[in-house]
Amino acid sequence: MARTRFAADRGLTRRMVLTMFLLGLLYVAFVAVLIALGARAITVLVIAGGFLLVQYFFSDRIALYAMGGREVSPEEAPQLHALIDRLCAMADMPKPRVAIAESDVPNAFATGRDQKHAVVCVTTGLLRRLSAEELEGVLAHEMSHVAHRDVAVMTIASFLGIVAGLMTRFALYTGLGRSRDDRGGLPVGLIIMLVSVLVYAVSFLLTRALSRYRELAADRAGALLTQRPSALASALTKVSGDMARIPTEDLRKAEPFNAFYFAPALSPGASVAALFSTHPPLDRRLDQLARISAELGRP
């Protein structure tokens, strides 16, 4: 991992290692159960391995395509490129690709397997609403995700849930649900489906817990790099407040990508607790930034 000037976060590192270890154990147990129930090992491994490789190596392109983002040149977005150039110089890290998504939802995200293959994308809604200082705070937050490598870890961590969903469909569409084990018990397909649901639930909770912590770590690292935690706090407050004025249909389209966003896009009536949120509560993020301001001796 290339070192940068973003503040290291040992708590984040420990949580990423622990999450990957637990998900690895879960994955091994999942494959073992599938094989024991009669699913062909080669089928399981080919499907799992294929999706992992695609997700890992093409996560940046997939995310940009899914969110309607396109890469922009310095001539097309000079202010945005200038801010990212400044942050790269401050952090001593390679410049990521820069993209803009045509969406009124004010948000930003970073993705990519490492610093050399990273992309930072902001929406037109965010560019219209934030000042230069606030935008710099958001970009520092996103670039810290790249520096900490937590984008790659989240990509791999979410993979197990995808495999569990695939195996459920595999059981349904290949007729495994009609066959029973040698003792005349439950249909094999039903057992696979139940195991898959359990695996998905556990992986979901683990990745959500890691996601909430990594957002706090990115807030802290970004604020310490720019030395302006108040600008990031202002951006958070502004973005979170403006979400209520975004059309519900646009918010619902954005909700599946909340794990990658700077701030969660929640439609009216959606409960953060009910969604097992990808982000910590706004008050907790603002409290942390206020403490950092006090540590730096800034208002």
**Helix (H), strand (E) counts: the chain:** 12, 4
Which amino acid type is present at position 205? Answer: L
In whole angstroms, give the CA distance from residue 40 to residue 47.
11
In whole angstroms, give the CA distance from residue 46 to residue 225.
43
141 is in an annotated binding site: yes
- Residue identified by tokens 């937050």 is 141
Active-site position among 142, 249, 255, 295: 142
81 is in an annotated binding site: no
295 is in an annotated binding site: no
In whole angstroms, give the CA distance from residue 177 to residue 171.
6
**For residue 184, is it left (φ>0), alpha (ψ between -120 and 50) or beta?**
left
Q: Is 10 exposed, middle or buried (0-12, 13-18, 19+ CB in 10 A)?
A: exposed
Q: Is residue 71 flagged as an active site residue? A: no
Q: Collapse the DSSP code of 261 into the 3-class scheme (helix H, G, I; strand E, B; otherwise coil) and give the result.
A: strand
In whole angstroms, give the CA distance from residue 115 to residue 96.
7
In whole angstroms, give the CA distance from residue 257 to residue 42.
31
Judge contact between 296 and 230, C-beta under 8 A.
no
Diameter of the chain measured on Cα atoms:
71
Q: Which residues belong to the annotated binding site?
A: 141, 145, 215
Query: Which residues are designated catalytic?
Result: 142
Q: Which residues belong to the annotated binding site for Zn(2+)?
A: 141, 145, 215
